[in-house]
Structure 1
Amino acid sequence: MRSIKSAVIAAVLVLVTALLMAPTPAQAHGVTMFPGSRTFLCWQDGLRDNGQIQPYNPACAAAVQQGGATPLYNWFAVLRSDAAGRTSGFIPDGQICSAGTGGPYDFTAYNAVRSDWPVTHLTSGATIQMRHSNWAEHPGTFRYSITKNGWNPDAPLKWSDLEPFGSVTD
């Protein structure tokens, strides 16, 4: 009787260990860290040793002045939970950087039309490794786009200004 009980316990331990060690698909939402999103780059610019966020960049500082620092403490949370994968046509032109309105935090200040937002400079033809923050687990797709040549930073960002170039599905 004792050997049967020991065998059952051993089998359960093996099963639990196998389940815990089994690979699982990545599931998350977040933002691009390289090339950096506006909120990520503003967070980086403003992060101080004391934990406060006080951006030096004029566009980032204006966004904090307009909407407070909460969006930068939550730089990874630019999302619309009700989007169900929709982007163009669901999130209006001019509101792309904030994912429209209706998300958990107010990122509307990051839609401001300015030419002094921090950017990531990329070299044409160079190979880059994309990095994004998978902050909260759930299935979804990261769709990557870049502004087209000739995009005017002094005009509201429109979907037609963006060139899709890849995606990663969790």
Structure 2
Amino acid sequence: MEKVFLYPATLHVAARPVCIATLLGTCVAVCLWDTKTRVGGMNHYLLPLWNGEGLASPKYGNIAIEKLVEKLEYTGAERRNMVAKIFGGRAQSDGNIVAYNIGLRNAQIARQMLKEYGIPIVAENVCGEYGMNIRFDTSSGIVMMKYIKGAAK
């Protein structure tokens, strides 16, 4: 099976089976899979919202999720058959204070937009204290996750 590594601010959609992998800290990855066509895709975004200035990049959750849905639909997937899994959003702390809540806000935008699109979230692991390594098998919709315990809390 072909393997694709997903860097931050990117997304990948595959009409044929591939394994999409990425590493996450405060970033979030949304994995979408069409249960009928078996088409899948994943994004990896750093910040929750694009403020309208500069390029509308998949660096931002609202853009990354919109583009992921659009690309899946372009390949023949249908929103009504899609399911979502979301990962990442590690809690970032600065001493005893949670700094800016970036991870939490990244997870919240995913939940909000998927609800608006009518795409159910069937699994999630977000806002924990460790980073993670995830691998998404687009042939089955299965996501394997492993904590990166050496990551700074």
What TM-score, normalized by structure 1, do the two folds share?
0.26
Greater helix content: 1
Greater strand content: 2
Instruction: Give the greater-gyration-radius structure (CA).
Output: 1
What TM-score, normalized by structure 2, do the two folds share?
0.28
